[in-house]
């Protein structure tokens, strides 16, 4: 039996500064591996696609939000032996303005349980279960990379 392929995913951290602080967009997976886990939008990197292009495409396909300037945040490595999957996830991040979030929609209801929701960092840390790449990101930000946490919580505007 051959080993499964290592896949490259792009996770998109979409954040918005509301009057009560920075919040992050998450949704609950449905109909795929990790069903029931909370995720950010994202998907597979396509052939000849840049990370930025992938982040823009996935955000538009899944949330109807048009991202201006997604930027590289970090990379995580997640073998999932029970599911015979292995993902390297490139995390991009981008801030949207409150005036732009009226465009937010659940564009793929077959892949998302309910609607997208905005949560603070502390609320995100309390949300369980997190999809493996997002769990890795939050763990790294909380335990070993304070600069990553600063980047996540900092407003770009």
In a domain, 61, yes or no: yes
Domain that holds residue 67: 6-153
CA distance 90 to 73: 8
Tokens of 14: 């979409």
CA distance 27 to 81: 24
The pLDDT assigned to 154 comes to 84
- What's the CATH number where 83 sits? 3.90.79.10
The pLDDT assigned to 33 comes to 83
The pLDDT assigned to 4 comes to 77
The pLDDT assigned to 157 comes to 55
pLDDT along the chain (157 residues), means of 10: 83 96 96 92 97 98 96 95 92 94 95 96 97 96 89 76
In a domain, 72, yes or no: yes
In a domain, 1, yes or no: no
In a domain, 63, yes or no: yes
Total domains in the chain come to 1
In a domain, 122, yes or no: yes
Supply the pTM of this predicted model.
Answer: 0.94
Residue 156: C-alpha distances to residues 29, 46, 110 (Å)? 28, 28, 32
């Amino acid at each position: 039996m051959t080993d499964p392929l290592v896949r490259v995913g792009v996770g998109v951290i979409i954040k918005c500064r509301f009057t009560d602080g920075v919040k992050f967009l998450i949704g609950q997976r449905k109909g795929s591996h990790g069903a029931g886990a909370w995720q950010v939008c994202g998907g597979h990197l396509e052939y000849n696609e840049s990370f930025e292009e992938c982040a823009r495409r996935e955000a538009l396909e899944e949330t109807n939000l048009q991202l201006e300037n997604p930027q590289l945040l970090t990379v995580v490595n997640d073998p999932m032996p029970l599911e015979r999957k292995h993902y390297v996830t490139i995390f991009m991040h981008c801030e949207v303005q409150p005036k732009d979030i009226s465009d937010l929609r659940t564009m793929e209801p077959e892949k998302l349980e309910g609607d997208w929701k905005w949560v603070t960092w502390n609320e995100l840390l309390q949300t369980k279960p997190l999809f493996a790449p997002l769990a890795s990101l939050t763990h790294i930000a909380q335990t070993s990379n304070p600069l990553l946490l600063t980047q996540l919580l900092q407003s770009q505007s």
